[in-house]
């Protein structure tokens, strides 16, 4: 089965830039999406089609996808960005897969 | 703007069937624009896609759950439902319903319902 691998945790200082990676076999051949989940809340769409932001998502969130790795970059990280982040894609058999999630601490 | 709300029992006994409903507001469950989806999250763990249904009745299920899952649509009530048979403690999770826009260029889920915790215990 297809798997997406994310680092379990990352930390960043306020105002700095952090990149969260999502790795999968030929992931760049599929579109990747990213979600933010704050404690006790449901996931919220951050990025779709690799790099597009839904309305209302701050510009400091950006995405890219190439080769085997999709990335979510948060520029000028704010304390409110402390959350879990999940990548998601569709595999070649049309089944949907989520990454294991990355817990981001803003210290 | 689509809004979703899950409902159903919060406690299910082992070996029984888990049944949840997702009420859709802001659009019709008969809309050709969406796939209606279920996703779950065990406590303290990551997200797992369960499956989705299109208004026509076409379904697609996670292979790991396919033998136990049924997703259906009730157009008269503007809602869709999840049925998961023969549950065990491993099925304890927060269950989310979510909408997926139909079209080309990948898959994404937006919005999500608030989620409902289902515990499997005797």
Q: Note whether A51 and A10 are within 8 A (CB).
A: no
pLDDT level of residue A94 (50, 70, 90 thresholds): confident
pLDDT level of residue B104 (50, 70, 90 thresholds): confident
Q: Note whether B93 and B40 are within 8 A (CB).
A: yes
> Which residue from B39, B48, B106 is facing A90, i.e. has the nearest CB?
B106
Buried b (16+ CB within 10 A) or exposed e, B51-84: bbbbbeeebbbbeebeebbbbebeeeebbbbbeb
Do B47 and A101 lie within an 8 Å CB cutoff? yes
Mean pLDDT, residues A69-85? 98
- Give alpha helix (H) positions in chain A: none
Task: Return mean pLDDT, chain A.
Answer: 96
Does residue A21 sit at the B interface (CB-CB below 8 Å)?
no
From the list B111, B108, B84, the residue with the least C-alpha distance to B98 is B111
| pLDDT over threshold 90, residue B41 | yes
Q: How much is the pLDDT for A65?
A: 98
Do B96 and A89 lie within an 8 Å CB cutoff? no
Do B109 and A88 lie within an 8 Å CB cutoff? yes
Q: How much is the pLDDT for B64?
A: 95
- Determine the residue of chain A that is closest to B38 in CA distance: A96
Residues of chain B in contact with residue A30, where contact means CB-CB under 8 angstroms, are 106
Residues 29-48 of A with CB under 8 A from B: 30-33, 35, 42-45, 48
pLDDT in tens, A4-36: 999 999 999 999 999 999 999 999 999 999 999
The token pair that represents A83 in the structure block? 């959350």
- Determine the residue of chain A that is closest to B114 in CA distance: A42
Q: Note whether B116 and B40 are within 8 A (CB).
A: no
Nearest CA distance, A87 vs chain B (angstrom) = 10
pLDDT in tens, B64-94: 999 999 999 999 999 999 999 999 999 999 9
Mean pLDDT, residues B85-113? 93
Q: How much is the pLDDT for B73?
A: 96
| pLDDT over threshold 80, residue B103 | no
What percent of chain B has a predicted confidence (pLDDT) above 70? 100
pLDDT level of residue B28 (50, 70, 90 thresholds): very high
């Amino acid at each position: 089965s297809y798997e997406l691998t994310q680092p379990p945790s990352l930390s960043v200082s306020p105002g700095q830039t952090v990149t969260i990676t999502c790795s999968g076999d030929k992931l760049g051949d599929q579109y990747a999406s990213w979600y933010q989940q704050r404690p006790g809340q449901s996931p919220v769409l951050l990025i779709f089609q690799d790099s597009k932001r839904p309305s209302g998502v701050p510009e400091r969130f950006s995405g890219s996808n190439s080769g085997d790795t999709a990335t979510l970059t948060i520029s000028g990280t704010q304390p409110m960005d402390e959350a879990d982040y999940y990548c998601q894609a569709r595999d070649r058999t049309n089944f949907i897969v989520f990454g294991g999630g990355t817990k981001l601490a803003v210290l | 703007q689509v809004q979703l709300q899950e409902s159903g029992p919060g406690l299910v006994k082992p070996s029984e069937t888990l049944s949840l409903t997702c009420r859709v507001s802001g659009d019709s469950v008969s809309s050709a624009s969406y796939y209606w989806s279920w996703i779950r999250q065990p406590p303290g763990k990551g997200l797992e896609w369960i499956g989705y249904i299109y208004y026509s009745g076409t379904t697609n299920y996670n292979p790991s759950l396919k033998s136990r899952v049924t997703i259906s649509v009730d157009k008269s009530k503007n809602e869709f439902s999840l049925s998961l048979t023969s549950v065990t403690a491993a099925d304890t999770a927060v269950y989310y319903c979510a909408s997926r826009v139909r079209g080309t260029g990948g898959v994404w889920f937006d919005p999500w319902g608030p989620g409902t915790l289902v515990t499997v215990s005797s």
